[in-house]
Amino acid sequence: MNNDSGHIPGARGIRYSDDGNEEFIIRPVGVINTPHKDPSRTPIQPVFASGIKGTVTVNPEYSDGLLDLDGFSYIYLLYYFHKCKDVKLILKPYLENKDRGLFATRAPCRPNPLGISIVRLLSVKDNILQVEDVDILDGTPLIDIKPYVKRFDSRDNVRSGWQDDIEDDAAEILGLRDFKKNQT
C-alpha cells in the first residue's frame, strides 16, 4: 500500500547475477485488454489500429499515480511482449521482405521483450483507462504509462532509416495484417 509520501516499498529492484551483471526486477502495474486475440492478426503499430478501443486496468496499489493523467489526449503504454519466445537478431520485418537487424525494427521478440505504443486516452475512471488506436495483444502485462507531451516528444527533420523507402500505401496494407478485413 501507499504510504504518506506516495512511495510503494519494494516496487522496484536491482540484483546482481553470479557473473556480476545487473538484473532488473520489473513487475506489471496492470494489464491491457483489447479485441486482439491472435498475434498474427494484431496491427503492427497504433497508426494501423485507428478506432480500435481497449481498456487498461491499473493495479489498485498504483491508482494514485493516475492523478492528472486525464488532462492528456495521448499516452505511451510500455508493456511486456508475453507471447514472444525466441530472440531473432536478424529478421524480415512485416513491412519488407529483406533481412534487417532487430534493433532497426520494432519486432516483438527481443532480448528484453518490451513494447511501447502511443494510444489515445479517452477516459480515466478509478483505476480503469479507456484507450483507442490500440495495437496490443489482449492480456498484455502493463509495465508503465507515460503522457505524450508534444513539446517534448515531437521532432522535426526525422530520418526513419530503411522505413523511408516503404511507400505509405504498402505500409498501410502490410501493417494491418488482415485485422480489419477479418472483423466482418
pLDDT in tens, 52-90: 999 999 999 999 999 999 999 999 999 999 988 889 899
pTM here is: 0.80
**With bands split at pLDDT 50, 70 and 90, how would you rate the model's confidence at 10?**
low
Report pLDDT digits (tens) over 114-153: 999 999 999 999 999 999 999 999 999 999 999 999 988 8
What's the grid cell of residue 138? 489482449
CA distance 47 to 132: 11
Give residue 179's pLDDT. 45
DSSP labels, 18-49: TTS-EEEE----EEEE-S---GGGS-SSGGGS
**With bands split at pLDDT 50, 70 and 90, how would you rate the model's confidence at 15?**
confident
What domains can be seen in the chain, in order of their start residue?
26-149 (2.40.30.70)
Give residue 20's pLDDT. 77
